[in-house]
Structure 1
């Protein structure tokens, strides 16, 4: 019941001072509107890029191998990895290189401020990644946003193309080796003459030879895969050797206290020098001694940095973490491949036991026939892989596409005159209502309230 009376009293007080409340709200809104127009304007430049679907990325990874370069290792295989993108795009190293590409050379402190307060990375419902750069200079915001997207795309294309070329070199070399082995196997088979070409081995022996040939094809494929993994591991070793597992993500720079102390000493010595020169000539020992002290202090100041890092926050190095993950994955694949080699060798040895007892010449011919067949299959396999990789290496496309280039914003994003005006008017009106309530209920002349015109709902 009391709450109902209080609310009714509040409404009556508001109605009683309605004109005053309206005037105060209007004045506050107008003042806010005018002040907002004088405030510095913030502009948002936005660029949007998309990453091809998982199947496209998987195709690239299958064609180019697991280690597709520094950026290739960082590309997430899904649309829910905005955190990874944000780490890459807002990293100090990436921003510095992107800005350098358009001729902007910012200090570490300026880059830290930019990535902390003026860059926002978001993921849209479609899975596209948006880079938003805010600045008081709309042209600067557009340049930075577009530079980030362009550099990200160019790095992706560079690393994928570079990786495809490396694999292309590897496959060309491996194909030539397989071709040489095939020619040697065929030459050996030809040199043996026609003595055993018309001889057909028994069905059981023929089955064993077929199995051995199939196993040796698998063995050859596995050994080629091991060679490729070792090449990729060597490349990752080169990249990881000079890379720190952690990186500085934030630093606090303060004035060097030693500099401040030396400055105070210098001021004191300059005062002493002025007093000494007023009493003595420049050749006097006292004046000479003070001048020497001044030169000594100046030298110490020149050896000190004006600013020092008073606090530093380190975090995981995103690039190092991604490369190490690829390195561990390759190590696991290498172990599995080596185990597979051992298993295939055991199966080959088991099948070769069935050939024991064959005449030496017939056994030699059977092995030559098997070697030729294995060499031919491995050569055709490598030739097919080589052609597929050559198609990828000649392609100019990548898995990242810019779908919305950054444009110079013509309308500022902040501050908003409409929002500020409405908020100021609302708060002023609310405060006025509260004032009216306390004015009429607890004011010095409450009787005036009761003598006023009766409020009718």
Structure 2
């Protein structure tokens, strides 16, 4: 809503408000300091209640229920937690906790009966379930007390009690069921184990010919047939190339060369004069007569002449077979060896495939005997096996169990009283009290505060303004007033910091901070 009165508009200007606060600063400072003092006192002296909470997750059975069915009663988790709560929060357990952590040992509880202590402890403990998607999958344990360390320790101890008690109850149920069935199944289990051993021994002795291995054997056999076909085709191709190379060698069209693409010179035959002469000519075109290879070939030619092996008739007999023919012959030998190995493997797998029907019949007979024995005692045996597995599962903690998801931690701030709210209320009360007093004083003040106010009130222009004449005494008082104001503002700031630390950080952390600052200063 728009204010039409010019005088009211003048009062709402920031300049007027700031000037008023400066003139009446002590009305703001003093209530604010008093409020901070009261708030700090309350923050230190009010009895503090700390709270610690631990969250426990209800983990489902780790082993899939399709494989292992627990014999422990599957009551609702919420009902089971309520049952465990009644056991754990019993008088015996709570007395143990009271004695363990020396609870209610303060002088104010000196005349308190044990029953009252137990009831007080039980009242400060809260067990609450957490439901997700219509299922209870977690629950929390909360404890309240005055000592934060004891609050944390008691909460964690209660969580341990819940976890241990749940494991004991489940294991006891599983063991009881197993013991009941054990007496009826000793002889039956022995016969079944004997039959199982016979069946396993048969499978081991006939490994490779079992029915479930037939498909694998057929796939391997098909692969071996393909390899045999490839090797036989390669053998035919190699034999054709060998015949062609021999034909070329007989007609003189094939020379002794390295494999295709290899252009490096080969070592000449030491018994072939023609080859030695050709190599000598090649080397002499590149090196001098003092080159070691030239000297070596000349010596070989001299040795041939001395031995009389340089005749044209003997030269062809000493010439070796062309390397192309040698490579093809070696390829034929390797391929022939592969074909023999593959054929041997084919015969082995064919025997396995042929023996599979016979093994299947024999295995079916053993399996039928085993199934007949199992069917005779299936109901009782299955229950016993489930009980044994369930006992083992519970002992190894693989069944449904409780696990601490969030462990209780040392509470830093009390839950009662609410320090943040106390801090805000104290600040608001100090400032509100000073502001309210200033508003009342200004509202009740009928004097003029400024020349502008005189003109607006009387509707006449200001002709002259006589200033306030200050003497030395007045100036001294004014200066001291401002010094006192500065000291008061500094004190208020320090008190505000202290109160904020007490309210937001706690007494212990505030004292630790003060100690650190003191050490730094000293």
- Please say whether Structure 1 and Structure 2 have the same fold, judged by a TM-score greater than 0.5: no
Interval of TM-score (by shorter of Structure 1 and Structure 2): 0.3 to 0.5
In the superposition, the TM-score normalised over structure 1's length comes to: 0.43
In the superposition, the TM-score normalised over structure 2's length comes to: 0.38
Who wins on radius of gyration, i.e. which is larger?
2
